[in-house]
Each structure stands twice: as C-alpha cells, then as structure tokens.
C-alpha cells in the first residue's frame, strides 16, 4: 500500500498499521537536503530553531515545540510535566498510553497512575469521567490526586472528537485545576476530517499540550510535543527529554521532517488521502451482507466485525491486517498517506468475493 508492489510481486495489501508505511518522498527529500554541512547539536541547529515559528503559525498562537522521535516520549514527557508521582491521569479505556506504551507514562512520571474511563467509540464519556474523578476525592493523602486528563484525537477507535466535545471535557478538568493533554498520534487525520483549524480542536478548546504525531502519516520518525500557553513547562519538558535519552545530537533530521510535513499543508493532504481510502472501504463494509463496522469510521481506521472464515478468506487473498487481540470476530484495517485507490479497490474486491 506504499506505492510499490511487495516482495512476492503481488500488489502490496498491507493494512496492518499506518506505521508500517514508508515515508513520503517529500519528507525523505527534506532529510537528504538537511544532510549538508555541519549543524549545531542538540536541537540548536537552524532547522530545529524554526519549529516554534512554524508551529505557532499553523496553530495561530505562540507555541513551544520539542521535537522527538516517538509518540510515547511526547505523551510521557507531557504527562510527567504536569503530574506529581502521586497524581492520577484520566484517559479512555482504549487509550494507547494505558494499553500500548509499556508503562512509559508511569516511568516518566515516577509512578503516577493512569485511571481509565469508559465511553463509546473511543471517546471519554463525560458522566463516567465525572464519576471517576469524584471516586478519587475525599480521601486526602491516602489516594492519588486528580491531576490531568488525556484525550486521543483521532481516537483509538478511529473516531474524532468535535471541538465542542473536547471543550466539554477540558472544562471539567480545568474546573478542578487539572491539566489537559491530547495524544495526537493521528492528529492530522482528525483535522482533515473536521475541516477546522488545528487551533479549534486544541488550545481553543482548552488543550494545553499536544503530542503532535507525524511518523504514522508520512514521516520516518518525527513527532513533536507542543505547549500552548503553558510555556513555563518547557524547561521541565526539556529536562525529561534529555534525561530519557531523547535529545538527539543530530536533531536536524527530525526537525527537517517536521518542517517539510507542515509545509504547504502537506500533512493535511496526506491525512485526507488516508481518510478517503478508509471511507471507501467503510462503504464497502456497510453494503456488505455479513461484515459490519464496529465503530463509525471518521478517520483512517476501519474496525470490521466479520466471521473467522471471512478473515481467513482475506488472508488467503494476500490482505494483511490486525486481528484484534482476544476477539476472533474483529479486525482492524488502517489506511495511510500513500494507500492507492487500486489497493483499496483490491481490498474491497476481496471482501466482496465472499
């Protein structure tokens, strides 16, 4: 699904994850271009120094930017910067920070606690959040202090929060003096879907810190922790980035990717392609006789319920996808910045062959 055929000469039908896609040509070109002459180390190079300005423009507010290599470090640094070791962070039950980061937030946060909150379609339910936060109070030093919330945009279920939904949750958090974070591993897909300004779904809705993902959507290894308003956290965040081994000496190669990613709305165009391919497949699932969508498809992920025989059938046709752990009736298909129409068509055809 990356614009070339796969090793066995057949069409590449890997829909396992967008992080298995290659980087976009423009991103690679930017890296190659950055590889010229000497550059000051540790993010003091001229490319890295442009990040604050570039992101501030895109987000329409003064933004502080820490380039990093993975979303896990962006998330963990953000949460650790606003949460004491005895603080709790509230997140949705499917959140990547809880299920897929091997406890990185707990590690960076010296034993902070993640508290999961229920909600449909990957979104935090406001009532459940209210209940969870209340359950944690009135017990003083014996319990964790409610310190932050973390939303995922687009969600782990492939849905998107509206700016209004984001604002409602952020208001609840801020009323209690808690910090607000957004895990934007697939932030581009969310903004492409919403058609709003990146600001509308972040700081204008009350988000203080954003893990801005780029690796999944066309970069090699480039993410950024963005601080809106709370610039005083920069020192703390930089200390943690260094102390966790994430301050690359040759940061220019990460920053080059990020700058090229933002340039000419490239990030939104790439995300829009991924979303469009997902929508095409979602339509095929909806019109299929036996397959069904598990969640509404609002970004670049399709969760499909089907029979075990159906999934076997797809695999025999060379389709790669993720069978959901613990569920033999559910699978995930992810579409990327470089998924082509003919690849999605081939997938739909394979689906409809049964």
Touching a second copy, residues 32-51 (CB under 8 A): 32, 35-42
Q: Where are the alpha helices (DSSP H) in the chain?
A: 25-34, 51-59, 71-82, 96-99, 104-108, 126-135, 163-175, 187-194, 234-243, 252-262, 266-286, 308-316, 341-352
CB of 298 to a second copy, least distance (A): 22
Which of 133-141, 169-177, 194-202, 274-282 is the region at the interface with a second copy (rule: CB under 8 A)?
Answer: 133-141
Does residue number 315 form part of the binding site for a second copy (CB under 8 A)?
Answer: no
Does residue number 94 form part of the binding site for a second copy (CB under 8 A)?
Answer: no
Touching a second copy, residues 254-293 (CB under 8 A): 254
Choice from 1, 226, 270, 350 touching a second copy (CB under 8 A)? 1
Question: Residue 353 has which token pair?
Answer: 């062959």
Choice from 149, 248, 285, 299 touching a second copy (CB under 8 A)? 248
Does residue number 113 form part of the binding site for a second copy (CB under 8 A)?
Answer: yes
CB of 3 to a second copy, least distance (A): 8
Question: Residue 39 has which token pair?
Answer: 């550059």
Q: What is the DSSP letter of 5?
A: B
Tell me if 99 sits within 8 A of 124, measured CB to CB.
no
Tell me if 211 sits within 8 A of 182, measured CB to CB.
yes
Touching a second copy, residues 320-339 (CB under 8 A): 325-326
Q: Which is nearer to a second copy, 135 or 283 (CB)?
A: 135
Tell me if 302 sits within 8 A of 280, measured CB to CB.
no
Considering only CA atoms, which of 353, 311, 309 is closest in space to residue 333? Answer: 311
Place of tokens 């598990």: 294
CB of 306 to a second copy, least distance (A): 20
Place of tokens 């640094």: 77
Does residue number 317 form part of the binding site for a second copy (CB under 8 A)?
Answer: no
Choice from 72, 83, 147, 273 touching a second copy (CB under 8 A)? 72
CB of 163 to a second copy, least distance (A): 28
Which of 57-65, 68-76, 187-195, 270-278 is the region at the interface with a second copy (rule: CB under 8 A)?
Answer: 68-76
Does residue number 352 form part of the binding site for a second copy (CB under 8 A)?
Answer: no
CB of 130 to a second copy, least distance (A): 12
CB of 94 to a second copy, least distance (A): 12
CB of 123 to a second copy, least distance (A): 21
Does residue number 231 form part of the binding site for a second copy (CB under 8 A)?
Answer: no
Rounded Cα distance between 162 and 150, Å, is 15
Choice from 48, 76, 155, 159 touching a second copy (CB under 8 A)? 76
Q: At what angle do helices 234-243 and 71-82 cross, to 10 degrees?
A: 130
CB of 327 to a second copy, least distance (A): 11
Touching a second copy, residues 153-212 (CB under 8 A): none
Measuring CA to CA, how many Å separate 273 from each of 80, 118, 197, 353? 34, 31, 18, 25
Q: Return the exposure string of 78-95: e unless at least 16 CB atoms fall within 10 Å of the residue's CB, then b.
A: bbbbbbeeebbbbbbbbb
Q: What is the DSSP letter of 12?
A: P
Q: Which is nearer to a second copy, 195 or 245 (CB)?
A: 245
Rounded Cα distance between 338 and 300, Å, is 12
User: Could you tell me how many residues of this chain bind a second copy (CB under 8 A)?
Assistant: 81
Which of 135-143, 151-159, 161-169, 296-304 is the region at the interface with a second copy (rule: CB under 8 A)?
Answer: 135-143
């Amino acid at each position: 699904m990356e614009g070339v055929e796969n090793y066995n000469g057949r069409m590449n039908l890997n829909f396992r994850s967008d992080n298995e896609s290659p980087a976009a040509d423009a991103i690679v070109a930017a890296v190659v271009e950055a590889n010229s002459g000497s550059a000051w180390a540790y993010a003091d190079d001229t490319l890295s120094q442009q990040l604050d300005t570039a992101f501030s423009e895109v987000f329409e507010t003064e933004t502080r930017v820490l380039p990093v290599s993975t979303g896990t470090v962006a998330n963990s640094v953000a949460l650790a910067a606003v949460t004491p070791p005895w603080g709790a962070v509230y997140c949705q039950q499917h959140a990547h920070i809880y299920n897929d980061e091997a406890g990185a937030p707990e590690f960076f946060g010296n034993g902070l606690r993640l508290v999961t909150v229920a909600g449909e379609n990957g979104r935090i339910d406001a009532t459940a959040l209210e209940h969870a936060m209340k359950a944690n109070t009135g017990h003083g030093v014996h319990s964790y202090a409610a310190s932050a919330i973390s939303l995922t945009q687009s969600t782990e279920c492939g849905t998107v929060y509206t700016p209004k939904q984001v604002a409602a949750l952020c208001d609840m958090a801020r009323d209690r003096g808690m910090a607000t974070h957004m895990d934007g591993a697939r932030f581009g897909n969310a903004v492409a879907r919403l058609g709003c300004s990146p600001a509308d779904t972040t700081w204008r809705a009350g988000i203080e810190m954003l893990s801005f993902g780029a690796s999944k959507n066309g970069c090699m290894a480039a993410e950024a922790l963005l601080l809106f308003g709370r610039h005083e956290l920069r020192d703390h965040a930089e200390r943690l980035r260094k102390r966790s081994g994430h301050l690359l000496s040759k940061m220019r190669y990460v920053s080059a990717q990020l700058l090229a990613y933002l340039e000419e709305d490239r990030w939104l165009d790439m995300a829009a392609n991924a979303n469009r391919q997902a929508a095409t497949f979602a339509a095929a699932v909806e019109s299929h006789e036996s397959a069904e969508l598990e969640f509404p498809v609002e970004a670049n992920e399709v969760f499909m319920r089907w029979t075990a025989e159906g999934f076997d059938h797809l695999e025999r046709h060379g389709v790669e996808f993720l069978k959901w752990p613990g569920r033999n009736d559910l699978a995930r298909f992810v579409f990327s910045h470089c998924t082509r129409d003919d690849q999605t068509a081939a997938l739909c055809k394979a689906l409809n062959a049964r």
